[in-house]
Amino acid sequence: MTQDIVILAAGKGSRMKSAFSKVLHKVGGISMVRRVLTTAGTLADSKLHLVVGHQGEQVEANCQDFSANIVWQNDPQGTGDALRRVAPFLQDDGATLTLYGDVPLIRASTLEKMTALSNANTLVLLTISLDNPTGYGRIVRNEQDKVTAIVEQKDASESELAIKEVNTGILLAPNAHLQSWLAALTNNNAQGEYYLTDVIAMAARDGVEIVTVNPESEAEVAGVNDRVQLAALERELQSQQAISLMQNGATLFDPSRIDVRGELVTGNDVIIDVNCVFEGKVVLGTGVEVGPNCHLKNCTVGDNTIIKSNTLIEDSQIGESCDIGPFARLRPGTQLANKAKIGNFVETKKAIIGEGSKVNHLSYIGDTEMGANVNVGAGTITCNYDGVNKHKTQVADNVFIGSNSSLVAPVQVAEGATIAAGSTITKQVGEKQLAFARARQTNKDNWPRPTKK
């Protein structure tokens, strides 16, 4: 059955106390509205509609890759009002699924259960029973246990307030009936708004079957109204992701101290120590070990590589059996071949490091192509920037670079060459040559040391 999926994202969210639209705030590194759109996009034969209002241009820009139909609700008057504005774009047949841009953890599996029950004469409602239903619309059932209406908190009687089963706001209604129901909505209620929930009573009146589905957990249908609730959902998502990683064969030293802000893919026997953050898409091969306090963003790490504590890797490709850190920084464009080593307090940027090559400590390697089995001594710098342009350093295989050397780009060092410690290299070094470039040492007798004034 074809479906229209409407995501409501027009609210300001004043309780967030933010300059940004509520739905643009992130859970797990991804804006809430994008999470909902991504989940909705997994349903087959569906057309997406995104209802925007407050800061709608920014919301639209954040979601432009989803090709959703953008519908404006500049003066929001309730959920029913939002659906009425989408009504002209709905398909004649099929059904309309209503979702919310601030309910980010809804599962595709739950929505699939709803769509499996949908037909031209059935309305599917997602409900949940809560120990404390305060604030939610109550599900009213008749003696035959059939849903007859949803009553909002402010309009409920004492007996209705005692009902534990509540409305999540998520429903799937057949378009053949929905258009007339939306047209018949009124704002004769305590809030003076058009409630989408009023269509439930209309469906019962018209003999449309109303069936209910329950989510797997309360967190799945929890909305965000303030930063406290945002933080609670963040912790819930991180817990879910930690469980999934462990079930896939990763060892987490403390599942409560890992943050995945995007997608983390792990092979078997991956070990992740505490306080690690993963952003964007990160792929860790089999046997990878990540030490404490590391930050990895948009990178791929080959099998059996060890990343030691306090290391930052961003937009980089790491080969197999590499040794990185501690306190290393691999900036965008870094590529390490198998068995390469990057030691403590080393920074790389747009650097290709060949197989078995070592940059052990206190060095900067930028805009560099380095061959295999190169040894870079401590304190070595590739001087890639002349104040206006960046230039490349090329180092061939089996080169030995002594400590505290500077390679002033553009420069080439041929295979098997040796650079003496403390040298500043500005010209090409040939194969198996020894290059040394130092000022002559001068010693002065009886030189008076400065004294403190």
Does the global pTM surpass 0.85?
yes
| pLDDT attached to residue 441 | 77
> Is residue 110 classed as helix, strand or coil in its secondary structure?
helix
pLDDT confidence band for 406 (50 / 70 / 90): very high
Place of tokens 């609670």: 232
pLDDT at 2: 72
Contact 322, 338 (CB under 8 A): yes
Report the alpha-carbon distance of residue 315 to residue 300 in Å, rounded: 8
Residue 1: band (very low, low, confident or very high) from pLDDT cuts 50, 70, 90: low
26 belongs to an annotated ligand binding site = no
What's the rounded Cα separation, in Å, for the pair 3 and 43?
Answer: 9
For 104-149, the pLDDT digits (tens) are 999 999 999 999 999 999 999 999 999 999 989 999 999 999 999 9
10 has binding-site annotation: yes
167 is annotated as contributing to ligand binding = yes
pLDDT of 190 > 70? The answer is: yes
* pLDDT above 80 (res 450): no
Q: Residue 195: CA atoms inside 13 Å, Cβ hemisphere, count?
A: 23
The catalytically annotated residue of 49, 54, 177, 361 is 361
For residue 165, give the 3-state DSSP assignment.
strand
pLDDT of residue 440: 82
Q: How would residue 74 be classed by pLDDT, with cut points 50, 70 and 90?
A: confident
pLDDT value of position 58: 96
- The per-residue pLDDT for 272 is 98
The C-alpha atoms of residue 242 and residue 28 are separated, in whole angstroms, by 12
Q: How far apart are CA 262 and CA 295, in angstroms?
A: 13
DSSP code for 210: E
* pLDDT tens column, 348-357: 999 999 999 9
Interval 26-73: pLDDT, tens = 999 999 999 999 999 999 889 999 999 999 999 999 999 999 999 999
The verdict on whether residue 81 carries a ligand-binding annotation is no
- What is residue 408's three-state secondary structure? strand
3-state helix, strand, coil in the chain (%, to 5): 20, 35, 45
The pLDDT of 361-382, averaged and rounded, is 98
Using the Cα atoms of residue 438, residue 443, residue 447 and residue 451 in order, give the sign of their dihedral: positive
pLDDT confidence of residue 191: 85
Q: Of 204, 205, 187, give the one whose Cα is nearest residue 196.
A: 187
Asked about 361 being catalytic, the answer comes back as yes
**E-strand stretches of 217-294:** 251-252, 258-266, 271-272, 276-284, 289-290
Q: What residues contact 321, with CB distance under 8 A and at least 6 apart?
A: 302, 303, 304, 305, 338, 339
Q: Check the annotation: does 404 bind a ligand.
A: no
Q: What confidence tier does 324 reach under pLDDT thresholds 50, 70, 90?
A: very high
Q: Is 225 annotated as a binding residue?
A: yes
**69 in a known ligand binding site:** no
Express each pLDDT in 246-274 by its tens digit. Answer: 999 999 999 999 999 999 999 999 999 99
Per-residue confidence band for 447, with pLDDT thresholds at 50, 70 and 90: confident
Residue 326: predicted pLDDT: 98
369 marked among binding-site residues: no
Q: What are the DSSP E strand ranges found in 201-309?
A: 209-213, 251-252, 258-266, 271-272, 276-284, 289-290, 295-301, 306-307
Least confident of 195-204, 233-242, 284-293: 195-204
Say what the pLDDT of residue 219 is. Answer: 95
CB atoms within 10 A of CB 434: 12
Confirm or deny that 195 is annotated as ligand binding.
no
The candidate with the shortest Cα–Cα distance to 137, out of 189, 209, 197, 212, is 197
Write out pLDDT tens, residues 228-246: 999 999 999 999 999 999 9
Helices 32-40 and 108-116 pack at an angle, to 10 degrees, of: 40
B/e letters for 27-57, b = 16+ CB within 10 Å, e = fewer, are bbbebbbbbbbebbeebeebbbbbbbbbbbe
Q: By the 8 A CB rule, do 209 and 134 touch?
A: no
Q: Which domains does the chain have, with CATH numbers?
A: 3-221 (3.90.550.10), 227-435 (2.160.10.10)
The Cα-based distances of 373 to 26, 316, 337, 353 in angstroms read 44, 20, 11, 9
Q: Are 98 and 183 in contact (CB under 8 A)?
A: no
Residue (of 67, 120, 72, 65) closest to 93 by Cα position = 120
Percent of the chain with pLDDT over 90: 90
| Structure confidence at residue 144 (pLDDT) | 93
The residue behind tokens 């061939």 is 396
Q: Is the pLDDT of residue 444 over 90?
A: no
- On whether 331 is known to bind a ligand per the annotation, the reply is yes
User: How, if at all, do strands 406-408 and 341-344 pair?
Assistant: unpaired
Encoded tokens for 273:
């120590």
Residue at 96: amino acid letter? T
- Phi and psi torsions of 343, nearest 5°: -95, -160
The model's confidence at residue 181, banded by pLDDT at 50, 70 and 90, is very high
